[in-house]
Amino acid sequence: MFNTLRTLLLTALHAFHRRATVQYPEQQPYLPPRYRGRIVLSRDPDGEERCVACNLCAVACPVDCISLQKTETDGRWRPEYFRINFSRCIFCGFCEEACPTYAIQLTPDFEMGEYARPNLVYEKEDLLISGTGKYPDYSFYNVAGIPIPGKERGASERERPPIDLHSLLP
Amino acid sequence: MHALALLAASVTVIGAIMVITRKVAVHAVLYLVVTLLALAALLVMLGASFAAMLEIIIYAGAIMVLFVFVIMMLNLGQPDSAREKEWLRPRAWLGPGILAAIVCAELLYCISPLSGSMPSLASITAHDVGLSLFGRYVLMVELASFLLLAGLVSAFHIGRNRMENR
Amino acid sequence: MTSSALLTIILTPLLLLALATLLTWVERRLLGLWQDRHGPNRVGPGGMFQAVADGIKILFKQDWIPPFADRDVFILAPAIGMMTALLSFAVIPITMGTGIAGDLNVGLLFILAMMGLGVYAVVLAGWSSNSKFALLGGMRAAAQMISYEVFMGLALLGVVMMAGSFSLHDIVTAQAGLWFIIPQCLGFGVFLLAGIAETHRLPFDLPEGENELGAGFHTEYSGMKFGMFFIAEYAGIVLVSSLVTTLYLGGWRGPLLPPAVWFLLKTGGMVAFFILLRASLPRPRYDQLMALGWKVLLPLSLLNVMATGTILMLRASL
Ligand code: SF4
Ligand code: SF4
């Protein structure tokens, strides 16, 4: 009996508390930089696509919503198409963790409402951004020992020049 | 006033007929409720609004709800309404029906309500009811309370035995 | 019958319906206030037209009658609920002169009768839906509402004894000196609890019991038929609140302000209290509810009747 009345009083006093609700469209909530929202494909500092079409993200994805096809130009691998079905994506971030090139990244943006489901399938053109995303200085080809036009074998960071086997005499 | 009273009376009679001809038990109970409400309207017109309200509260509001409650528990289905239909053959109701019609006609003839003006009725208040209940009829009230007490005790007894057997 | 009386008869139910609809919004805003959130605040000023939006939505919903239901009774049930709730308002005296049916000399009994008939709405809805959850809800409703009607009537006996009349006007007049809430505090408590149970409002909403019975007796209802149950429930809240005001809080009496304003203020306060109950209390178990009724409220209300009777007799003999 007394407890019940006390409950009533306490609830009534809540009328003078601050409201916890964020009035969303007018009042944007703070999203931390590592928030897992809409997925983007980022570019190297020199403007090339970072994705090397290794398919690791597609393998890591628990709901299999990434689909891509590899193609090759001038010794650089790149995706021919890259498709994420956001109506299935659960924004777990596994793809970002799996990616060796920091190409695929999740961004603090969740406003992706659509009236038709097929509109939630994003193609590469929709996903690619012009910047580097969260890792401004990283470029995969600068650290990987793969020759591309403009970078000979052995020119990567912390890579010694290749050894001419024919000069190795006892 | 006559027309209203006749309307209520005919609703009562029609409702009662519907009660005995329904095949689904709940429908019958609902028609019984309608009959009781029409009776209450008649009582109001006769000046006994206290009795009318008590009738609605106790009969329509409580006892009939208990009827519906019991019928809900019984879970009557298709076979039951088929059996009811079987029982509603003319052979079953013709005899009693004729007898009832004769009695009804006789009653109508005797009271012949349509002739003469309506006598002005003194309304019967709760005060009057209380006085007569605990004045003239106090013995009846006490006897009825004995009966109810016995019913209460036996209901309690039955309920308690069930609990122990479990 | 004068034309103004006819107008009152036509306008009052419409007004009540509007009020009940508005109340859905008020309730949600107040619940929000007490739960540190906002509640509907988008449509119209302060979200006021949310009720209208909901009404339009529910009107255009598919009104589906399940094929296994007992069609006639299924349609009848919400109508009964609505009708009894609205009819009860006929005898509520808002001020000295107003009140639709005027001063009925058995006004209080009339309201009790209408509440008794209101049980049918819930019970028949439960039965005619022909589904297990609805049936369970209907049976709970039958047992709960019939039991609490008893305590409600017994609690009201104290008021009737003090006022010496069933007429609501006389009851308010009898509270000229002292509101009945003070001499009848026991009866007030019992009546309040019984009123909550009778309108099957939270915390006594066992016939609905969302988390155990789906939606209880109106599980199978959709569209406006469900809407009618909804509106009838809110009309029931207003009814019980105005009854409490009339019977225990002195009705239209109060200093300075005009009588109608006092009545509305008191009723509004009671409605807010009902919503506060919903905001703060959990639902008891079914057997707890019945035990509370028969083991606590019944003795209390009988005690109240006996004490009131004794005191009145003593005072009369002095
Ligand atoms: S966030 Fe998770 S679900 Fe979405 S694409 Fe990446 S791995 Fe798949
Ligand atoms: S986004 Fe990353 S993980 Fe996926 S294919 Fe491209 S490089 Fe590989």
Does some domain include residue A50?
yes
B81 in contact with C, Cβ within 8 Å: no
Determine which helix (DSSP H) or strand (DSSP E) holds A82, and give its type and residue range. Answer: strand A76-85
Task: Give yes or no for residue A97 having a pLDDT over 90.
Answer: yes
Spans of all domains in chain C: 67-317
Positive or negative CA dihedral for B144, B146, B149, B150? negative
**Nearest CA among C194, C175, C150, C162 for reference residue C312:** C162
Instruction: Determine, for residues C73 and B26 on separate chains, whether the beta-carbon distance falls below 8 Å.
Output: yes
For residues B72 and B67, give the distance between their C-alpha atoms in angstroms, rounded to a whole number. 9
**Cβ-based neighbours of C93, under 8 Å, separated by 6 or more:** C99, C103, C168, C169, C172, C246, C251, C252
pLDDT of residue B151: 93
Q: Specify whether the CB–CB gap between C71 and C237 falls below 8 A.
A: no
pLDDT of residue B22: 81
CATH number, domain containing residue A119: 3.30.70.3270
Longest dimension (CA), chain C: 68
Q: Specify whether the CB–CB gap between A77 and A63 falls below 8 A.
A: no
Instruction: Determine, for residues B26 and C127 on separate chains, whether the beta-carbon distance falls below 8 Å.
Output: yes
Best C28, C33, C274, C288 member to test A by mutation, with max A CBs in 10 Å, is: C33
Of all residues in chain C, the percent with pLDDT exceeding 90 is 1
For residues B7 and C44, give the distance between their C-alpha atoms in angstroms, rounded to a whole number. 49
pLDDT of residue A90: 94
Determine which helix (DSSP H) or strand (DSSP E) holds A70, and give its type and residue range. Answer: strand A66-73
What is the domain range of residue A50?
A: 31-141
A99 lines ligand 2 (CB under 6 A): yes
The strands making up A76-85's β-sheet, listed across from edge to edge, are A66-73, A76-85, A121-122
Residues in chain A: 170
pLDDT of residue A106: 93
- Residue A25 CA, ligand 1 centroid: distance in Å: 26
Which bound ligand lies closest to the C-alpha atom of A95?
Answer: 1
Does some domain include residue A39?
yes
Identify the residue with better confidence: B120 or C38: C38
Note every long-range contact of C10-17, with CB atoms under 8 Å and residues 24 or more positions apart, other chains counting: C12/C89, C12/C100, C13/C86, C16/C86, C16/C89, C16/C235, C16/C238, C17/C86, C17/C231, C17/C235
B66 in contact with C, Cβ within 8 Å: yes
Task: Give yes or no for residue A103 having a pLDDT over 70.
Answer: yes
Q: Is the peptide bond before C40 cis (omega within 30 degrees of 0)?
A: no
A4 in contact with C, Cβ within 8 Å: yes
Task: Give yes or no for residue A142 having a pLDDT over 80.
Answer: yes
Name chain A contacts of C276, Cβ cutoff 8 Å. Answer: 8, 11-12
- Exposed/middle/buried for residue A51 (C-beta within 10 Å: 0-12, 13-18, 19+): buried
**Cβ-based neighbours of C268, under 8 Å, separated by 6 or more:** C241
Q: By three-state DSSP, how is residue B89 classified?
A: coil
Name chain A contacts of C277, Cβ cutoff 8 Å. Answer: 8
**Cβ-based neighbours of A14, under 8 Å, separated by 6 or more:** C33, C34, C35, C36
For residues C236 and C217, give the distance between their C-alpha atoms in angstroms, rounded to a whole number. 17
DSSP B77: -
For residues C102 and A114, give the distance between their C-alpha atoms in angstroms, rounded to a whole number. 58
Could you give the number of structural domains in chain A?
1
Per-state percent for chain A, helix, strand, coil, to nearest 5: 25, 20, 60
Does some domain include residue A156?
no
Q: How far is B117 from chain C (nearest CA, A)?
A: 23
pLDDT of residue C1: 55
Cα separations in angstroms, A107 against A53, A76, A85, B71: 20, 26, 16, 62
Per-residue pLDDT tens for C43-80?
A: 878 888 888 888 888 888 888 888 888 888 888 888 88
Task: Give yes or no for residue A22 having a pLDDT over 70.
Answer: yes
Pocket probe for ligand 1: among A91, A106, A126, the residue whose CB has the most ligand atoms within 8 Å is A91
Q: By three-state DSSP, how is residue A121 classified?
A: strand
Is residue B162 very low, low, confident or very high in pLDDT (cuts 50, 70, 90)? low
- Cβ neighbours around C23 below 10 Å, total: 21
pLDDT of residue C98: 61
pLDDT of residue B165: 58
How much is the average pLDDT of A121-136? Answer: 90
pLDDT of residue A66: 94
For residues A86 and C268, give the distance between their C-alpha atoms in angstroms, rounded to a whole number. 49
Q: Specify whether the CB–CB gap between C267 and C245 falls below 8 A.
A: yes
Name chain A contacts of C34, Cβ cutoff 8 Å. Answer: 11-12, 14-15
For residues C285 and C278, give the distance between their C-alpha atoms in angstroms, rounded to a whole number. 16
For residues A12 and C30, give the distance between their C-alpha atoms in angstroms, rounded to a whole number. 10
Is residue C97 very low, low, confident or very high in pLDDT (cuts 50, 70, 90)? low
Per-residue pLDDT tens for B81-120?
A: 777 777 777 777 788 889 988 998 888 888 765 555 556 6
Best C30, C37, C276 member to test A by mutation, with max A CBs in 10 Å, is: C276
Mean pLDDT of chain C, nearest integer: 84
Task: Give yes or no for residue C152 having a pLDDT over 60.
Answer: yes
pLDDT of residue C102: 66
Question: Crossing angle for the helix pair C71-88 and B25-45, nearest 10 degrees?
Answer: 30
Q: pTM above 0.90? A: no
Closest CA to ligand 1's atom 4? A89
* C32, C33, C280: residue with CB nearest A8: C280
Is residue A160 very low, low, confident or very high in pLDDT (cuts 50, 70, 90)? confident
Does some domain include residue A11?
no
Radius of gyration for the alpha carbons in chain A, expressed in angstroms and rounded: 25
- Residue C189 CA, ligand 2 centroid: distance in Å: 70
Alpha helices in B46-120 (DSSP H): 49-54, 64-74, 78-87, 90-111
Per-residue pLDDT tens for A48-80?
A: 889 999 999 999 999 999 999 999 888 788 899
Residue that has been written with the tokens 């508005």 in this structure: C22
Of all residues in chain C, the percent with pLDDT exceeding 70 is 97
pLDDT of residue C101: 63
Is residue B1 very low, low, confident or very high in pLDDT (cuts 50, 70, 90)? low
Does some domain include residue A112?
yes
- B2-88 carries CATH number 1.20.120.1200: yes
Of all residues in chain B, the percent with pLDDT exceeding 70 is 89
**Cβ-based neighbours of A105, under 8 Å, separated by 6 or more:** A39, A40, A41, A42, A96, A133, A134
Q: Specify whether the CB–CB gap between B18 and B30 falls below 8 A.
A: no
What is the interface pTM, i.e. ipTM, of the complex? 0.82
pLDDT of residue C67: 85
Q: By three-state DSSP, how is residue B21 classified?
A: helix
